Structure 1
Amino acid sequence: MRRAIPVVVRGGRGRRAWVAGGLWAGAELAVTFGLLVLLLVAHQLWWTNREARAEAGRTVHSLEREWGADAPVPSAAPPDEQVGARSAPAGTPRASGGKAAGAAKATPRWDQAYAVIRIPRIGITAPIAEGISKAGVLDKGYVGHYVQSAQPGQTGNFALAGHRNTHGEPFRYINRLRAGDQVVVETRDTVYTYVVDSTLPQTSSGDSGTIAAVPHSEVKPSYGYSMPGRYITLTTCTPEFTSTYRLVVWGKLTRSRPR
């Protein structure tokens, strides 16, 4: 009688090994991808802030040395002065030392840091540079000046932009500003004190009226002004970590003095 030769089928074990290897490789890829995402988040939320704040701080110190004097630390205005500032009509700022509120004497070159903004309420000190380019201004932790708007102290609207998240995020907490808070702008020759007047919590990114000479919202007409004056506008993105809409804070010039 002829004996049957046993046949060993190994296909099932081979398929299982192949599946196991594929799962292991997929897990390694997932872990690697997760680590890369975490590194990217850390870079955006921590490293860019660290680098931009250091750069902005060096620029502020450089400007102060160039101007030949340490920048003064603004103190809160007395209550009666704040009330007077809010009730004063637009375009009629008080000037201390007998000097009227003036204008910047020279037009800065593109991306040049030429002023310092201080907002005591939220602890912000940052350089102001000409233009709002990302690489040359905003990503350095600077506050950017809309070139089509007025310069500090001039009649019109001194309009500024700053990052709300990452790259120094100087305007992250401008939503906390309230009527009566000070925004101090220092140039080589003059210190300008603006007082916050109103806030537009959210508007379209294309709402160009917010940085017009007489600032107003074209999207929400109940917000803004109707008369010429000396205004300041702070703009940033909202909600946080998006660039969908814009948050706007407006103020009026109430005082100027020589450095």
Structure 2
Amino acid sequence: MNPERSAVRRTGSTCVGILGELLLTIGVVLGLFVVWQLWWTSVTANAEASTIMSDFRDGLAPEVSHTADLRTDDPPVPSPADVGETTGTLIVPAWYGLTNNEMPIAEGTSLNILDRALAGHYETSQQVGEVGNFALAGHRRTHGNSFRYVDRLDKGDQIIVETPKTWYVYEVTDHEIVTPDQTDVIAPVPHHPGQKPTERMLTLTTCHSLTLGEYGNDHRWITYATFVGWMDRSDGTPAQVLESRDN
């Protein structure tokens, strides 16, 4: 056999072997990245959110073990909070058994907040219980999967906000899918930023798609809810909160 031809073949085989090893290594690295992104980030984020919620609730008066009628007069409105401050708890009874249906609410929507499995309050939106739009953001996939099952919410499902002194109860009215540039969904009157609000609303915003390749960054899922009443913490606890915790 021609020595030069044999050398070329050996070189070619070596190159193919090296390329194969590189592709295998890249595949392993990508696989580990997916595991980290989809699973481990949620493990660490949920652990941190649990600690934050425990610290928040440690400072509250004990929860009353019975319910009471919702009040329909004007609710108390909390003062604005500092960015990063924990202001309450978001409770979605319909998510019980599907995911963590209770999570801390913090002021602001930066990744430093959302990546800790918190619901972030848009600083430009109204306070909870205030006339206008109390708007919250959360991850749908990774970092806690906070709003993963937002598509399971139906009209009439309750969304409840717990603060140190008050329970605020909203009911889902509608949802829509928008592009990221449609930021007027968190206006005091959604899609009408110059209009004066006349009702109390809550809006949840999150990514639309759960597709692995795009992580849902191309559209947003928006859920709207309207205020139906409030309850002083010393008077009782909303029935759906008690029911979900008893199951």
TM-score of the pair, normalised by structure 2: 0.84
Contact 2:188 2:197 (8 Å CA) reproduced = no
Separation (CA, whole Å) in 1 of partners of 2:40 and 2:197: 44
Q: 1:249 to 1:57 in 2, by over 3 A?
A: same
How far the C-alpha of 1:250 sits from its partner, in A, is 0.5
In structure 2, stretches of 5+ residues that fail to align are 234-247
Pairing 1:126–2:103 present: yes
Q: 1:51 to 1:70 in 2, by over 3 A?
A: farther
Separation (CA, whole Å) in 2 of partners of 1:116 and 1:13: 71
Q: Deviations over 1:131-152 (max 9, x none)?
A: 10002x1001101000011111
Indicate the residue corresponding to 2:27 in structure 1.
34
Pairing 1:196–2:172 present: yes
Pairing 1:208–2:201 present: no
Pairing 1:232–2:202 present: yes
Separation (CA, whole Å) in 1 of partners of 2:183 and 2:189: 11
Separation (CA, whole Å) in 2 of partners of 1:12 and 1:29: 26
Amino acid at match of 1:47: W
Pairing 1:100–2:93 present: no
How far the C-alpha of 1:72 sits from its partner, in A, is 6.8
Indicate the residue corresponding to 1:245 in structure 2.
219
Separation (CA, whole Å) in 2 of partners of 1:253 and 1:161: 18
Q: How does 1:135-214 map to 2 (within 5 A)?
A: 135=112, 137-200=113-176, 202-214=177-189
Amino acid at match of 1:139: D
Query: Runs ≥4 in structure 1, deviation > 3 angstroms?
Result: 70-75
Percent identity over paired residues: 32
Separation (CA, whole Å) in 1 of partners of 2:66 and 2:22: 53
In structure 1, the residue corresponding to 2:111 is in which secondary structure? coil
In structure 2, the residue corresponding to 1:206 is in which secondary structure? coil
Q: Deviations over 1:78-135 (max 9, x none)?
A: xxx9xxxxxxxxxxxx616xx631211x221111111100001012111111010002
Q: How does 1:112-123 map to 2 (within 5 A)?
A: 112-123=85-96
In structure 2, the residue corresponding to 1:67 is in which secondary structure? coil
How far the C-alpha of 1:184 sits from its partner, in A, is 0.5
Separation (CA, whole Å) in 2 of partners of 1:74 and 1:141: 28
Indicate the residue corresponding to 1:62 in structure 2.
55
Q: 1:66 to 1:164 in 2, by over 3 A?
A: same
Amino acid at match of 1:103: V
Separation (CA, whole Å) in 1 of partners of 2:45 and 2:64: 21
Indicate the residue corresponding to 1:89 in structure 2.
none
How far the C-alpha of 1:255 sits from its partner, in A, is 1.1
Contact 2:188 2:196 (8 Å CA) reproduced = no
TM-score of the pair, normalised by structure 1: 0.81
In structure 2, the residue corresponding to 1:140 is in which secondary structure? coil
Separation (CA, whole Å) in 2 of partners of 1:238 and 1:157: 21
Indicate the residue corresponding to 2:17 in structure 1.
24
Which of the pair has more CA radius of gyration? 1
Indicate the residue corresponding to 1:86 in structure 2.
none
Contact 1:174 1:249 (8 Å CA) reproduced = yes
Indicate the residue corresponding to 1:4 in structure 2.
none
Separation (CA, whole Å) in 2 of partners of 1:103 and 1:133: 24
In structure 1, the residue corresponding to 2:59 is in which secondary structure? helix
Separation (CA, whole Å) in 2 of partners of 1:45 and 1:250: 27
Q: 2:4 aligns with which of 3, 8, 11?
A: 11
How far the C-alpha of 1:216 sits from its partner, in A, is 3.4
Q: 1:73 to 1:24 in 2, by over 3 A?
A: farther
